[in-house]
Each structure stands twice: as structure tokens, then as C-alpha cells.
Chain A
Amino acid sequence: MKGNVRKIAIFGATSAMARGAARRFASEKAEFVLVARSAEKLDAVKADLLAFGAARAETVLCDLSDVAAQAAALDAVWNALGEVDAVLVAYGSLPDQKACEADTALAMREFANNGSSAIALCNEIGKRLEAQGRGCLAVISSVAADRGRESNYLYGSAKAALATFVDGMAVRLSKKGIRVIDVKPGLVSSPMTAHLKQGPLFASSDKVGAGIAKAIADGKTEGTLYLPGIWALIMFVVRHVPYFVFKKTRF
């Protein structure tokens, strides 16, 4: 099923969700270029994918919040793979909302990491896919993009910027035969959320990763994708709850 996706680039490849997706393609002997900012973590992920059967896994070290540094990483990817079948942009960070309220510089750094730097990256990836004339781009934003919550609205606003950008790009590139997917995961167990109490709504990063892989491989999904699917319903409600009610919920 995933046999037509052979060459894959992952930005933020040390993400647990990204690894969940990548394993599905690794089992089908895909080739990878893995981009992230920690060499030790990259090595661990590379070993994992090779164990799962990846034909090849190269690593590229890059702090993706540094927009100026992205070009070199992009070159490294395309040089290594030639044409790329699928790109996954998975990096992100969940900041301490309270700390962001107190420290505007921190807030802006976090906004850049989750929002503007990812927009810059996607813009460049879009150009390269357009030049190839084919391929699929999946970008992980979040359900947090859908409404500002007291507990994480800095993060949410950055993801909202990213999600809106990706949605628009999806429409534009769809006409050129390129699929762009805005992945909105709900609550997912991963290192990012390990410190939170894991209620019944939490899905495993492996399962959500599998959902991302499936969407990339199916040859038709584009636009917004909630994962697990139940979040489409939950967020429909959350978006439509009037403010005076929303204010009182702990959601």
C-alpha cells in the first residue's frame, strides 16, 4: 500500500509522531532524510528506522527555528534523494503558557518555532515540490489551532498561523497535482505531553503516526485531517460553543 512512497524527508524527525509515521514506510524499505536539531536523538531514530527495514536513512542536523539555516537543510534533502515523494514537517514545542505571558521575548521565540519558521519552511518546500511537479507534504499543526485556550493560547496562535497557511497552500498546490495535508492531532502521548495527566482522550503517538502515514500513502487525502478522527467532531463543537460558555469550561 505504501510502496509508492519511497523517498521521504522529515523535518523534526525526532518527534514521536513522526517516528510512528516513518516506521510504516520503513517496513516497506523506504529511503529517508531525517532533519532535527539533536545528533544523538537523530542517531536513535535512524537506528529504529533501519531496524524496521528502511533501505537508507541519512541525518541532517539543523535547528529549524533558524530560518536562514533551513536552505542548507533543504539542499541536503534534495541532494540526497533527488526527487522526494513525501515530506513531513513535524517539529514543534509546547511552551509554558504562563512563562510566555511573563516574557514576551520567549513568547516570540516560541511563536517562531511553532509558527513563522514552519511557514517559511513550508513555503520553500512548496516551491520545490512545485518544481518536481509531484509529491505530498504533510504538516503537523494541532487542534490547539482551532480556538484559543487559557492554558496554551500562545502555542495555539502559532499553530493557527501555520494551519491557515498550510490550508491555503493545499488549495493552490492541489491544482498542480501536489497534495498538502494539514494534520491536526488531538491529545497524543509523546515526550511533549509526558508531564500531563494522560486521560482517556490521549492516543498513542504510534497510532497517530500510522494515521499520518496512511493519509500520505492513500494518494487522495488533502486539506485538514484530524487525528484520531473523533477530534473533527470534538473541535466542531469546541469551535461553535459561544464564548460565554467556552469561558466556563476547563477545556
Chain B
Amino acid sequence: MTVCSWGKYPKVEAAAVQHLAWRHEKIDFDPATSFLAHGMGRSYGDSCLNEGGTLLMTRGLDRFVSFDPETGDLRVEAGVTLEEILRFALPRGYFLPASPGTCHVTVGGAIANDVHGKNHHVAGTFGCVTDEFTLLRSSGEILRCSRTENAGLFRATIGGLGLTGLILDAKIRLRRVRGPFLNVKTIQFGSLREFLQLSKELGTKYEYSVSWVDGTAHGAQLGRGLFMAGNHSDLTVEERKEPFVPKLVFPCEAPEWLLNRATIRAFNELYWRKTVGRAVEGVQHYVPFFYPLDAIENWNRMYGKRGFFQYQCVLPFGDGEEACAELLRRISAYGKGTFLSVLKTFGDVESPGMLSFPRKGITLALDFANEGKETLDFLSMLDGVVAEAGGALYPAKDARMDEAMFARSCPRLAEFVKYKDPLFSSSLWRRLGEPNFGKGA
């Protein structure tokens, strides 16, 4: 069966696809093949793919296990999506404690990639708000993992790219809210320096922040963008009628000519003008604030059949700032980036995860349509800039980095491989040479 991730690149053949529906189900872990969990497939590259092996589809593990309305402690099966949690939590006065830019991801996927959201500078990653999970190993053992029990496996599994076994269920701590609204402020910035200034000033005042940066601007406009910050509002649904949220569907794969310099530039120009004046404030429903792209179902089809790459790196503050400007210069000169380029600063709440991507610094994420070798060469060139500055790439969004870049991005790889499950593997893991540091096969 052909499977691909959100980036639609690569497309690979899994030898078998097994749909899981119950936690207690026995899985026949045949040592002749390899296994990998697959949630909503919202990773961009090949971390959720297993060419020639077995994919364990977790979406059917979608039950809630327990909820404490007093504390907000929630235990769910690993295939429950963040959208399902939100729909459950809001009417009960709670909200997700951390969420990526789409709610169509599973809890298992959120842990395995240790995803981050707009509140990283305050709350840290998804792993930081996960107290415990149970892990099925290919030996058949089911292990409870937390900060105190099987702590090594706990830390290896968070951000562990699905390679330590199958997460069956997990316990997370929800956050209290009064309603679904946010007080949102959008501010224009003219340069990277201004962006960093705003992040510093407003980071302490706003729980959420993220910025859009114009990947097509150059010269004096290089690094211009919009800083968007928000806090939960005390307004309840009764106090404010919920606005209608239209749902659009991207109907089919777009022809290749749709994305060109002119359309991308026009889009960016329009987006820039979205904020009339330097700053606007208002009340916004959580859906468009947190999940603007979820409003267009299958927006990834926009990039056509060949798919696209998402490039996300993190650069340390200080030296990394110039490198970030350099990346933006090269991207705008290349001229083929990207509708939505995202900038954010990561804070210093440290994740328990050994391979977790988020670390203190500036993170930049953008999309590039796959145009074959030309795109690959360009991205390798960006790697050079990131590596030079001591930065790292996000494996969850990668389909092409090399082994050296992976090793740079995951400095604790040698510790991690001790916890890897011998029968779990992925296309990404094999592409990156299955590092084992003399541990044996």
C-alpha cells in the first residue's frame, strides 16, 4: 500500500498496514519485518513512513481512559486527536496545554515528535505537559513510563520519532480556560531585529506568540512580518456569539504553474497588508488563531503531485541571529519560498525528550515546492548556514537532511539508541544510516 506524509514526498510502499482498534490487541511482532506507528500522517517527511515494513495505524485507538474534572488530568489512548481533546475539554472549562499549528494530530504523534506550539516560551513542548504513558515494546512487554518510572524510556520516547515502540495511551494535564476566545494583538515588524525585540518585550505578557515573516521581501524590507500574540480571554460563548468558521477544501492537486514567483509574492504582499496600521487588537476564536491552515482541508494539495518540503530549523540567540538573516536573504533571492513562513522564539523550558527539537533560540519554518534536484541543492545550502551557526533541523519535517546534519540536530543520539526498540524502524531512520554507536544490530 502506498503511503505518504503531509508533504506528499516521499511516497513509499509499506509491505503491510495494520489498523489497531483496541489497546489490549496482540500484535504479532514478526522479527523478519520492521514496525512503525502511524497517526494522522501530519509529519511532513518520512518520519511516519516505513517502506517495506509494517505500519501500525493508531487512529482506531481513540478512546478516553479517564478524566478528573477537578485537576484536568486526562488520560487518552494514543490515537485520540488534539481536535477531539479540544471538543471534549472546552465545554468542561479546559484547553490543550500545548498544541502545534494543526489540531489534526494524534496524541501519540504529538509525543513522538515532541511537538511545540505558540506557547513554547511559557509551557515548553508537548512532552513537558505529558506526565505518563504506556509503551508496548516488540518483546510484548507493556511498560509504564514517567519521570520516575522507566525514566530513560520516557525521555527517549518523547521526541523519539516512534522508534522506541508503540505508545498505547498517555496522561496529559489540561489547562483551565473560561471560553474559546483569545485577546489577540497583531503588530507589524520591519526587520528581524524588531522581531526579536518584540519577542522579548511581549513574551512575558502573552502566553502565545508566533510570527509570519515575508519570505519574498528583500533589501530594506528583508525580515518584515507580523507578530501575533494572544492570551485566553475571559469571555464565554454566551457572552459572545461564536463566529462562523468557514471550512474550505482544496479540491484537487493543483497544476504546477499555480505556484510561481508572482503568485507567491502577491500572496505575501496581501498578507503583509492584512494589518492596517502598525498594530491591531481584537478578540478571536481559538480556531483561526491556533489553526489557520486547518480551515482549508487538504491545503497540501496546493503543491501538486510532486509534493513539497517543509524546512524548519532552530538557531541559537546571539550568533544565530545573523544566520537567520542570512537564511532569509538566500530564500528571498531563491524566490521560490513559500506562502507562510513562520518565525518564533523558543524559550528555555527544557523538554524531557532526548531527541526533542525545540531548544532555546529562533525557529524558522517554511515550505518549498518539490522541484527535484534544484530544491534539494538549495536546501542543502541552507543546511550549511544552519550548521555553521550551531543550529538544528526538525526531523518531523524532514525528508532530505544528511547524517551529519541529523547528528548535529540530535546531540544525544548515542544515549537514545540504547532505548530504541530493535524491531521498530522508519524510512527516516534508515535514510539516516540507522546510527547505533557500536550497540550492535
Q: Using CB atoms and an 8 Å cutoff, list the residues of chain A in contact with chain B.
A: 16, 19, 27, 40-41, 44-45, 47-48, 50-52, 191, 194-195
Contact = CB atoms under 8 A, between A and B. Distances in A.
B420 to A, nearest CB: 28
B407 interface: no
9 contacts: A27-B91, A44-B24, A44-B65, A47-B63, A47-B66, A48-B63, A52-B64, A52-B67, A191-B21
B4 to A, nearest CB: 15
B250 interface: no
A27 B74 CA distance: 15
B63 A44 contact: yes
B64 A48 contact: yes
Nearest to A192: B21
Given A52-B88, A194-B60, A47 B65 contact: yes
A51 B64 contact: yes
**List of 3 A-B pairs having minimum Cβ-Cβ separation, nearest first:** A194-B19, A51-B64, A191-B21
A44 B22 CA distance: 8
Given A47-B63, A47-B65, A48-B64, A41 B22 contact: yes
A195 B60 CA distance: 12
Contacts of A194: 19, 21, 57, 60
Interface in B78-99: 88, 91
Nearest to A44: B63
B24 A195 contact: no
B23 interface: yes
Contact of A195 (B19, B64, B66, B91): B19
Contacts, number: 38
A47 B68 CA distance: 12
Interface string B13-54: 000000101111000000000000000000000000000000
Nearest to B91: A27
B186 to A, nearest CB: 34
A21 to B, nearest CB: 15
Nearest to A195: B19
Contacts of B57: 194
Nearest to A26: B64
Contacts of A41: 22, 24
Nearest to A204: B62
Among B19, B74, B91, the most chain A Cβ lie within 10 Å of the Cβ of B19
Contacts of A52: 64, 67, 88
A51 B65 contact: yes
Contacts of B75: 51
B22 A40 contact: yes
Contacts of A45: 63
A51 B19 contact: no
Nearest to B84: A206
Contacts of A16: 21
Contact of A40 (B19, B24, B60, B64): B24
Contacts of A47: 63-66
Nearest to A43: B24
Nearest to A205: B62
B306 to A, nearest CB: 23
A45 B88 CA distance: 16
Contacts of A19: 63
Contact of A51 (B60, B66, B91): B66
A191 B88 contact: no
Among A19, A52, A191, A194, the most chain B Cβ lie within 10 Å of the Cβ of A194
A197 to B, nearest CB: 9
A162 B57 CA distance: 33
B325 to A, nearest CB: 45
Given A191-B60, A194-B60, A51 B67 contact: yes
Contact of B19 (A27, A44, A48, A191): A191
B88 A50 contact: no
A16 B63 CA distance: 10
B209 to A, nearest CB: 32
Contacts of A195: 19
A50 B69 CA distance: 11
Contacts of A44: 22-24, 63, 65
Given A44-B65, A50-B66, 20 more contacts: A16-B21, A19-B63, A40-B22, A40-B24, A41-B22, A41-B24, A44-B22, A44-B24, A47-B63, A47-B65, A48-B65, A51-B64, A51-B65, A51-B74, A52-B64, A191-B19, A191-B60, A194-B21, A194-B60, A195-B19
Nearest to B65: A47
Nearest to A49: B64
Contacts of B24: 40-41, 44
A46 to B, nearest CB: 10
Among B19, B21, B57, B91, the most chain A Cβ lie within 10 Å of the Cβ of B21
B138 to A, nearest CB: 21
A45 B65 CA distance: 9
A195 to B, nearest CB: 7
B16 to A, nearest CB: 12
Among B60, B63, B91, the most chain A Cβ lie within 10 Å of the Cβ of B63
B160 to A, nearest CB: 25
A212 B64 CA distance: 20
Among A45, A51, A194, the most chain B Cβ lie within 10 Å of the Cβ of A51
A251 to B, nearest CB: 23
Nearest to B74: A51
Contacts of B91: 27
A16 B74 CA distance: 21
A52 B87 CA distance: 11
Nearest to A200: B249
Contacts of B23: 44
Contacts of B67: 51-52
Contacts of B63: 19, 44-45, 47-48
Contacts of B21: 16, 191, 194
Contacts of B65: 44, 47-48, 51
Nearest to A41: B22
B301 to A, nearest CB: 14
A16 B75 CA distance: 19
